[in-house]
């Protein structure tokens, strides 16, 4: 089953939105395969956001993402990467559709609450940055057949 990395960024923790955001992702049908509270340091931030090194917003992004605790998760499900992305809403929270996490809880691109991997390949790379294989659990839930037909 497909896996993706989700980060509930420091603004989500500070604003007390962690529970509500996780509730939406769980309610969608995604399964939590790994989860921890942690704080990113500069090195981890550079590694995670390597595609953005050198961009104008990069220093602000690193300052923000390292500024406090965040929740890192691996979510699993059919098409988990795309499902998380469309549940999050678009990057610029000011333009994110109502009904999405960013569209309901955020208004600023630099305070957009949540990260989700943008492709299966990047999900694999990002998951390996945050979790050891032994921290990622495979299990079935009693209601799985009520969420996915097969
Ligand atoms: P996403 O988080 O939707 O995958 P991204 O990978 O393009 O978006 O960018 C990573 C983060 O960097 C994004 O969540 C917020 C910040 N960011 C991106 N573009 C920005 C911009 N033009 N101004 C300020 N912050 C930006
Ligand atoms: Mg991205």
3-class SS of residue 106: coil
Report pTM: 0.97
Instruction: From 5, 7, 51, 57, give the residue whose CB has the most ligand 1 atoms within 8 Å, as the site to mutate.
Output: 57
Tokens 């395969």 correspond to what residue? 33
Q: Which domain holds residue 112?
A: 2-38+72-132
Residues in contact with 147: Cβ distance below 8 Å, sequence separation at least 6, in sequence order: 29, 77
Q: How far apart are CA 27 and CA 68, in angstroms?
A: 27
115 a catalytic residue: yes
Q: Is residue 113 part of a domain?
A: yes
Among protein residues, the one whose CA lies closest to atom 12 of ligand 1? 61
CA of 109 to the centre of ligand 1 (A): 7
Q: How far apart are CA 1 and CA 79, in angstroms?
A: 8
**CATH of residue 103:** 3.30.70.141
How many domains, the chain?
A: 1
Q: Is residue 43 part of a domain?
A: no
Can you give the pLDDT of all 150 residues of the chain as single tens digits? Answer: 999 999 999 999 999 999 999 999 999 999 999 999 999 999 999 999 999 999 999 999 999 999 999 999 999 999 999 999 999 999 999 999 999 999 999 999 999 999 999 999 999 999 999 999 999 999 999 999 999 998
Q: Is residue 77 part of a domain?
A: yes
């Amino acid at each position: 089953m497909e896996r993706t990395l989700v980060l509930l960024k420091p603004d989500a923790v500070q604003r007390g939105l962690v529970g509500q955001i996780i509730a939406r992702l769980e309610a969608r049908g995604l399964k939590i395969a790994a989860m921890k509270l942690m704080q990113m340091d500069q090195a981890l931030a550079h590694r995670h956001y390597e595609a953005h090194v050198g961009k104008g917003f990069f220093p602000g992004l690193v300052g923000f993402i390292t500024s406090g605790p965040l929740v890192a998760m691996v979510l699993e499900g059919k098409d988990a990467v795309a499902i998380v992305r469309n549940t999050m809403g678009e990057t610029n929270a000011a333009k994110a559709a109502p009904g999405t996490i960013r569209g309901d809880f955020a208004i600023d691109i630099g305070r957009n609450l949540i990260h989700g991997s943008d492709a299966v390949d990047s999900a694999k790379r990002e998951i390996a940055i945050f979790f050891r294989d032994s921290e990622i659990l495979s299990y079935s839930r009693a209601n799985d057949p009520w969420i996915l037909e097969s």
